[in-house]
Structure 1
Amino acid sequence: MKEVQTSCGCGCAASRGTELAAVAVGAQMAAAAETPESALTGDTVREQSKIAYREGEEAAGGIAGIKDRAGMIKIPGGAFRMGTDDKNVFSLDGEGPSRLVTIDPFYIDETAVTNAQFLAFVDATGYVTEAEQYGWSFVFHLYVPERLRPCVTSVVQNAPWWWNVAGAYWGAPEGPGTSIEDRLSHPAVHISWHDASAYAKWAGKRLPTEAEWEYAARGGLDGKRYPWGDELTPDGEHRCNIWQGTFPRVNEVEDGYEGTAPARSFEPNDFGLYNMAGNVWEWCSDWFSPEYHRSGESVNPRGAAGGETRTLKGGSYLCHQSYCNRYRIAARTSNTPDSSTGHMGFRCAADA
């Protein structure tokens, strides 16, 4: 698979195209993860899925057309300032400059798609995610169970907190033996862009464009950093699920959630949408480009015509101001459309 460098050099969105490093005795993992050396050896072999991705995609497409608008919010059309002129941003991500963009009315899910919803999709279609087909996915090092640590043999070279865990997928988020049984109301994770698109098609929906997603996240507020305003914790109140503490070793869990939070956590924004900052990264339909917005459409922009990575918005429970404050509305990152991690999910949109 071709190596692709995502826009997020800090490693907040590990890619299947990212160069992996074999785990060995060394200071890199010890410093990053503080994990015993003996826990970093073993075999990661897992049988590949017997159902091809194409078969799953065809099954998903064959049951499309449900078109249920329950759980969706109709967003009024209008013009808004997209992006930011803030100085303390990631310039290479193409966040700025701010520009006037006009959006037609559309629907968007109140929440990220939950494990319960994704389970219904899988039960109806037999769909097999790309994480299952590859036989592995990326899991944040602190969440890998002790019994599975000896089986981890590779990590992301430039972000060694991402471990390649055999058997990790949406239904076993931390690897074999783990479960979503007590997380059915949480967002589904280890979802690739292709997986998200297949679900959306089955549900009679689609993925939102980046412009739609950002317009919806702002909830009618003009130029604010977060869905509720410019201050991260107004009056000391946590409004989103992100990392508190020293990344990547100590999470002080001041917001109440160590990993994912239920999809309806915290107060919704003024459009009634939950967790538009933090919790899980959310796929958009657009190909990622840091330059498209400088010359692209200003009315219902759809993103670049092509590319190697797709756009993600919203940040996740692993974002921290010290290295990745991409939980801001204007922030963005990208990943290859076949990639999956323990902090990437999605929500759907639909035409009004």
Structure 2
Amino acid sequence: GVLRRVYEHIEVLNREVDRQLIAAAGSAKPSEMVALKGGCFQMGNAKGTLAEQPVHEVCLKPFKIDKYEVTQAEFQSVMGLDNPSHNTGPNLPVDSITWFEADRYCKKLGKRLPTEAEWEYAARGDTRTEFYWGDKVKGNEANFCDKNCPLNTRIQSVDDGYAGTAPPGQYPPNPFGLHDMAGNLAEWTADWMNEDYYRSSPKNNPKGSHPTTAKVVRGGSWHTTAGFLRSSNRAAYWVKMRNYAIGFRCVSNS
């Protein structure tokens, strides 16, 4: 009986490995970029935290943004560093990088990290709802802390298909064609965190607060509950911190 259960468990693990390999092989080119026309949008959320208020108009120049989060294979190829990731796999998004490493990676490719305003504009995809697919989470829209997640805050009624990170492109894109702007990994931005910044943010191409102690992180992750996936949600982490729920993507001027 015990031996049979062991073999059954091994078979389940093998099926999961096969599924991930097939998914990784089927994912599109991670380095692809999407050109966004820019323009004006309403940034923030009147129903969100105080840091997300007030809602204010922001106007941005056109820019390009990575369609997918940067993968471990891409990061190692460009940086020549050991893989820092907690969830390892060449086709998985790189995690546990410091802000400085993310910044350096983008600059090596002639790109940069997105400003917080660029990130939210890209994530919203011309929507005003809590998430870019609507105001509710069913569970198949993004990778967050579902029944497979190792936290007590996991949502037992949801199975999004992955216990950790997922290869890029496994969930539906937002209206701009971008993947994982909600969930999978939260993402570093260029801006310093200031909870009161929205009260004085300029309307045109805001570049963020004066230096503080932490950088803004956006998007929620496989390790957070659904509320963190909201397009307006703001979080912050120390620049030298390595967190297995944080990755990044780059932007460039059009």
Once the two structures are superposed, residues 80-122 of structure 1 have per-residue CA deviations (whole angstroms, 9 ceiling, x without a partner) of 0101011xx332xx11121111011000000110111112113
Is contact 1:186–1:260 with CA below 8 Å preserved after alignment?
Answer: yes
Aligned to 2:243: 341
Q: Say if 1:200 and 1:207, in contact at 8 Å, map to a contact too.
A: yes
Residue 275 (1) aligns with residue 236 (2): no
Partner of 2:74: 117
Which residue, out of 192, 209, 218, partners 2:115?
209
2: distance between equivalents of 1:250 and 1:213? 27
Q: CA deviation at 1:250?
A: 7.4
Query: 2:49 maps to what in 1?
Result: 90
The aligned counterpart of 1:197 is 103
Q: Which residue of 2 aligns with 1:286?
A: 191
1:143-182 residue pairs with structure 2 within 5 A?
Answer: 170-171=84-85, 173=86, 180=88
Partner of 2:74, secondary structure, is helix
* 2:117–2:206 Cα contact (<8 Å) kept: yes
Gaps of at least 5 residues in structure 2 are 1-29
The residue identity in structure 1 corresponding to 2:160 is D
* 2: CA distance, partners of 1:186 / 1:227: 23
Report if the CA contact (8 A) 1:288-1:309 is conserved: yes
In 2: Cα distance, 1:70 partner to 1:262 partner: 13
CA–CA distance in structure 1, aligned partners of residues 140 and 97 of structure 2 = 27
Provide the identity percentage: 36
Q: TM-score, normalised by structure 2?
A: 0.82
The code of the aligned residue for 2:67 comes to: E
Q: Secondary structure at the match of 1:186?
A: coil
Structure 2 counterpart of 1:202, which letter? Answer: K
Partner of 1:256: 161
* Counterpart selection for 1:220 from 119, 126, 138: 126
Q: After superposing the two structures, state which structure 1 stretch, 237-246 or 294-303, moved more.
A: 237-246
**Match for residue 93 of structure 2?**
187
Q: Deviations over 1:237-268 (max 9, x none)?
A: 51000112487247556011100011212111
2:153 touches 2:225 (CA, 8 Å); kept in 1? no
Higher Rg: 1
Q: Is 1:247–1:320's contact at 8 Å kept on the other side of the alignment?
A: no
2:39 is the alignment partner of 1:78: yes
Partner of 1:99: 56
Q: What is the distance in 1 between the residues matched to 2:31 and 2:223?
A: 30
Would you say how many aligned residue pairs link Structure 1 and Structure 2? Answer: 222
- Name the CA distance, whole Å, in 1 between partners of 2:207 and 2:63: 14
| Structure 1 position 199, deviation (Å) | 0.3
Determine if the alignment matches structure 1 residue 309 to structure 2 residue 214: yes
* RMSD of aligned alpha carbons: 2.0
